[in-house]
Structure 1
Amino acid sequence: MPTPNKHALLSASSAHRWLQCTAAPLFEAQFPNGTTDYAEEGTLAHSICELYARKYFTTVTKRKFNSELKKLSESPYYSDEMLKTAEAYVDYLKQKALGYTAAPYVTQEVQVDFSDYVPEGFGTCDCVMIGGDTLHITDYKHGKGVAVSAVGNPQMRLYALGALKMFAPVFGGAIKNVSMGICQPRLSEEASEDFLTVEELTAWGESIKPVAQEAFNGPGTFCPGEHCRFCKGKAQCRARADQHTAFEDFKDFAVEGKVAPELKELSPEAKAVIGLPPMLSDAEVGDLLTRAESLVQWYKDLQEYATATILAGKEIPGWKLVAGRSNRAFKDVDEAFKAVIELGYNEEMLYERKPKTLTEVESLLGKKKFAEAMTDYVVKPQGKPTLAPLSDKREPYSTAASDFAGVENG
C-alpha cells in the first residue's frame, strides 16, 4: 500500500504529535525525509496485504496474483511471515464484511482528503467498507514494537472524515455510524477497534480545527512528551532537552514537598532543621520512575543521533566511536569442519540436534492449524514479574498464583 510521493505537512499518521505539539510540523520540516529498514519492511508488507485483499474482494486472477506476489517476494525485505500477516489482515476484513446484513461496498488504497478540518490534509486509507448505515475503515500496522490502539486514534479519525467526504455524494446521509479498526497481527490476534456516530466524529473534527491551523501556520508551541518518540527532531529538540535537564527545578520540586506529600505539613523552620530524609519514600520512587523512563529514551535518542553524526564525518565534542565487541567466527564453516574431521574427529561431534521452538512450529503449521491440533500440548506459565505503570492494560502480577505454581511444580 504505497503512499503518495507528496507528503502533507500535517499528516494523519503524525496527528498524535502535532495535536499535542503544534511546533512539531515546521520543526520537523528542517530534517530530511529518510527511511529505515523497518519502514521498508512495512511498505512491502502493506503491498502484500493489499494484493491478498484484492484477490478476495475483486476479480484478480490466480495467474496475476502469483505474478505480483513473485515480484514482491524478490524484495530484500521480504519474509514468509508477511504472507501469514496478510492472511490475518484479510481474515479481519472478511469478518467485518460478514457483519453487514448485505454485501458491503469495499475498496482498497483510498486516497482521502480531510482538508475541511486540517489545512492541506490528505492521506491513504488501507481499506474502506460501507454498508447499511455504517462506514468502516481499516489500517494495517506491521510493527511489533509498539501496540497501536484505535481508541481515540486521531489518524483513524482523520481518515474516517476524509472517507465520509469522499463517499457522501454516493451514499448521502445514509451513513450514520463510523467504525475504525487497526489490524496489527504481529502483536495481537485481535484487532483494536473504535466506534463513533457521524455527529461525534464531525464534532471532533471541528474541535481540532484551531489546533491544526496553529500547527500549519507556525511557529506553534513546543510540548515534549511521549509523542516525541517518532519525531524526526527528537534528539535535537531544545524543549525536550530542557525537560530532562532541569535538575535544579527538580531539586526545588522535591524540597517543597511536592514529590513527598508527607513533607507538606512541615514548617519551613522544621525543614531547615531536619532537611529531607536520607531515604526516598515509596511515593518519591514512583514519581522518579515515571520521570526516568522518558529520560532513558531521550538518552538513547541522543546516542543514536551522535553515532550517525560521527559516522557522517562530523564531530560531537567529547565523544568518539570505538569498535564494539565482536565474536570470532569461521570464515567458511564447511571448510573448517572438514579440517576438524581430517584431524580424526567424528562429524557427528560437530553438530547438535535441537528441537524447534513453539513459535517455529506454529509458523510451520500456521496459527489456525496449530490451535486446532496442539492446544492440549501447550502450557503458558506465568511470566516473571515486570514493572509497568498502572496505565498498562495487563492484569497485575499475582504472587499467590506464582506461589501456587511453585507448589504444583514442587
Structure 2
Amino acid sequence: MGHAERDHALLSASGAHRWLYCTPSARLEEPFPDTTSEAAEEGTLAHELAELKVRNYFYSVEFGKRKLTAAINKLKKEKPWQDEMMGYTEEYLDYIKGVALAMKSTPYVAIEKRVDFSAYVPDGFGTADCILICGNVLHVIDFKYGKSPNGRVEAEGNPQLALYALGAYEMYKILYPIENIRMSIVQPRLSDGISEWECPLEELLSFGRYAKGRAELAIKGEGEYAPGPKTCQYCRARGQCRARADHDVKLAFSDNLGKLPPFISSEEMGDYLRKGADVTKWLGDLQDCALKECLAGKEVPGWKAVEGRGSRDWTDMDKAFDTLTKGGIAEDAVLWERKPLTLAQVEKVVGKKDFADAVGEYVVWKPGKPALVEASDKRPAITNKVTAAEAFKEDQV
C-alpha cells in the first residue's frame, strides 16, 4: 500500500497535538473533507523514496539494487518528483545507519510498520517510518520533509512519536525487555533538522495513561476547546469553529483599552504577540471559508465571490514567436531574456557535493534580515549585530 492510501484513524497519531489538547476538535472536524496540497504530495513521494532506500539497506536480499532502481525510476515519473529528494533521503538513511551501527548488536528493524496503540486510544493506529530495537532500547525514527524553519518538529514530548512508541512497545514487549525509549525526528531540509529525545519506559507509559483519558473525551466530542496557533493550524473546522472565532475576536477587539496606560510595556508587547498569533491566520481561514460558501451558491451577507484579475497566455508560443521572427523581429535580442540561474538553482543542477568542490570558494554567506520569533526557537538570539537601517536598506528607495 502506498503512503497516500494509508487509512486514517479518527484519533490519529499525526493529529494528536490537536485532539490531546482540544478534545472536541476530533468530532467537530468530521464533516469536513480531508484535503491535500502540493507540499503534502511532495512529502508523500519523498517518504516513499526514503522507505525504498532504508529497505534496500537492511533487506538487500529481498529488495536488492535492481528492485530499488526500478522502484525509484517509477517514482521519478510522478508529478511531485524533485531530483533533490535523492540527496535529502540519503541524509535520512545515513542517520538510520549511524544509529544502527552504534547499537551494541545488530538491531531488529521494522520499516513503515503499522502500529496499534488502541490500548490507549480507541481504534488508534498509525505507521511508524522506522523502528529499531536492540537489547532494552526501543528507538522510533520519523522522517519529516518540511523545509520551513518555523515548521521544525521537536522529538521531545512529541505526541505523534510517543503514540508510535506505545504501539511498538505493545507489539514487541513480549519479545524484548524494553526499558528505554528513544525517539528521533529527521528533517533533512533544515540545517538543524535532527531532534532526539530519550525517556524511561515508565515516562512513556505515564503519557499513555494521560492520552487514554484525553482520548475518552475526544471520542465522545467532549471536553474544553483550546483554540490557538498550534491546535488550530491543521484542524479542518478551523474556519467555522465558534470557539476559535470567540477567542480571536476577544483578542482583536478588546474593549478595555481605555482603562490602560497609553503606552504598552515590553512585557505586554510580548504577551500581545503571543496571544494574537492566530488572529491573522483565523481571518484568512474565515475568508477562505466564506469564499467557498459563496462559490457554492450560498449567501454570506455583505460579501460575494468575484473573478480575480486575469492574465493573458499564449495558446502556442512557438508558432507566435515564429510568426514574429518571420515578420522581422530579432528573436535573440527581443523575444528571449538571458539571465543566470540563482545560486540555489545551480546547486540543484550540479549537486551539493560537486557544487561545493567546484565553486564553493566563490560562495559567501550573507546573513538574513532580523526576524522576530518565539523564544523557544532553536536559533541563537542576535543583538546589535546589524542595525535596522542596514538590514532593510534594500527596501529603501
TM-score range for the pair, normalised by the shorter chain length: 0.7 to 0.9
- CA distance in 2 between counterparts of 1:402 and 1:41 reads 38
1:325 is aligned to 2:326? no
Structure 2 match to 1:39: 40
Query: Which of 386, 389, 394 is the equivalent residue of 2:374?
Result: 389
- CA distance in 2 between counterparts of 1:293 and 1:248 reads 10
TM-fit CA distance, 1:238 = 0.3
- CA distance in 2 between counterparts of 1:203 and 1:127 reads 23
Identity %: 45
1:128 is aligned to 2:104? no
Distance 1:365 1:217, change over 3 A: same
> Letter of the aligned partner of 2:378 in structure 1?
K
- CA distance in 1 between counterparts of 2:254 and 2:340 reads 53
TM-fit CA distance, 1:125 = 0.4
- Structure 1: segments with no counterpart, 5+ residues: 258-275
Q: How does 1:275-294 map to 2 (within 5 A)?
A: 276-277=261-262, 279-294=263-278
Query: Which of 250, 254, 260 is the equivalent residue of 2:254?
Result: 250
> Letter of the aligned partner of 1:152 in structure 2?
G
Distance 1:61 1:390, change over 3 A: closer
TM-score, length-scaled by structure 2: 0.87
1:92 is aligned to 2:76? no
Residues 251 and 279, structure 2, Cα contact 8 Å, conserved in 1: no
Q: Which has the larger radius of gyration?
A: 1
TM-fit CA distance, 1:152 = 1.1
Query: Which of 158, 164, 176 is the equivalent residue of 1:159?
Result: 164
Query: Which of 279, 285, 290 is the equivalent residue of 1:301?
Result: 285
- CA distance in 2 between counterparts of 1:104 and 1:35 reads 36
Query: Which of 108, 113, 121 is the equivalent residue of 1:105?
Result: 108
Q: How does 1:335-354 map to 2 (within 5 A)?
A: 335-349=319-333, 350-354=335-339
TM-fit CA distance, 1:20 = 0.8
Residues 138 and 182, structure 2, Cα contact 8 Å, conserved in 1: yes
Structure 2 match to 1:238: 242
- CA distance in 2 between counterparts of 1:186 and 1:310 reads 39
- CA distance in 2 between counterparts of 1:248 and 1:95 reads 49
Bigger Cα displacement from structure 2, 21-30 vs 207-216: 207-216
TM-fit CA distance, 1:211 = 1.8
Bigger Cα displacement from structure 2, 19-28 vs 374-383: 374-383
Q: How does 1:122-201 map to 2 (within 5 A)?
A: 122-145=125-148, 146-171=151-176, 173=177, 175-188=178-191, 190-201=193-204
Distance 1:335 1:398, change over 3 A: farther
Structure 1 match to 2:348: 363
3-state SS of 2:190 partner: coil
Distance 1:366 1:136, change over 3 A: farther
Structure 2 match to 1:265: none
> Letter of the aligned partner of 1:85 in structure 2?
Y
- CA distance in 2 between counterparts of 1:105 and 1:3 reads 26
TM-fit CA distance, 1:213 = 1.7
- CA distance in 2 between counterparts of 1:157 and 1:76 reads 33
Residues 185 and 193, structure 2, Cα contact 8 Å, conserved in 1: no
3-state SS of 2:131 partner: strand
- CA distance in 1 between counterparts of 2:252 and 2:15 reads 33
**Aligned pairs, how many?**
384
Q: For each residue in 1:259-281, what CA deviation from the matched residue of structure 2 results, as whole angstroms up to 9, or x when unmatched?
A: xxxxxxxxxxxxxxxxx53x545
3-state SS of 1:170 partner: coil
- CA distance in 2 between counterparts of 1:180 and 1:211 reads 22
TM-fit CA distance, 1:355 = 2.2
> Letter of the aligned partner of 1:103 in structure 2?
T
- CA distance in 2 between counterparts of 1:386 and 1:111 reads 40
Residues 382 and 402, structure 1, Cα contact 8 Å, conserved in 2: no
> Letter of the aligned partner of 1:241 in structure 2?
A
TM-fit CA distance, 1:284 = 4.1
Residues 122 and 162, structure 1, Cα contact 8 Å, conserved in 2: yes
Residues 347 and 355, structure 2, Cα contact 8 Å, conserved in 1: yes
- CA distance in 2 between counterparts of 1:96 and 1:313 reads 56
3-state SS of 1:135 partner: strand
- CA distance in 2 between counterparts of 1:99 and 1:11 reads 32
> Letter of the aligned partner of 1:158 in structure 2?
L
TM-fit CA distance, 1:110 = 0.7
3-state SS of 1:94 partner: helix
Structure 2 match to 1:72: 75
TM-fit CA distance, 1:170 = 1.6
- CA distance in 2 between counterparts of 1:218 and 1:400 reads 50
- CA distance in 2 between counterparts of 1:236 and 1:248 reads 17
> Letter of the aligned partner of 1:93 in structure 2?
I
TM-score, length-scaled by structure 1: 0.85
Distance 1:370 1:201, change over 3 A: farther
- RMSD of the TM alignment (CA)? 2.7
Bigger Cα displacement from structure 2, 327-336 vs 43-52: 327-336
TM-fit CA distance, 1:127 = 0.7
Residues 3 and 124, structure 1, Cα contact 8 Å, conserved in 2: no
3-state SS of 1:230 partner: coil
- CA distance in 2 between counterparts of 1:301 and 1:68 reads 39
Distance 1:34 1:330, change over 3 A: closer
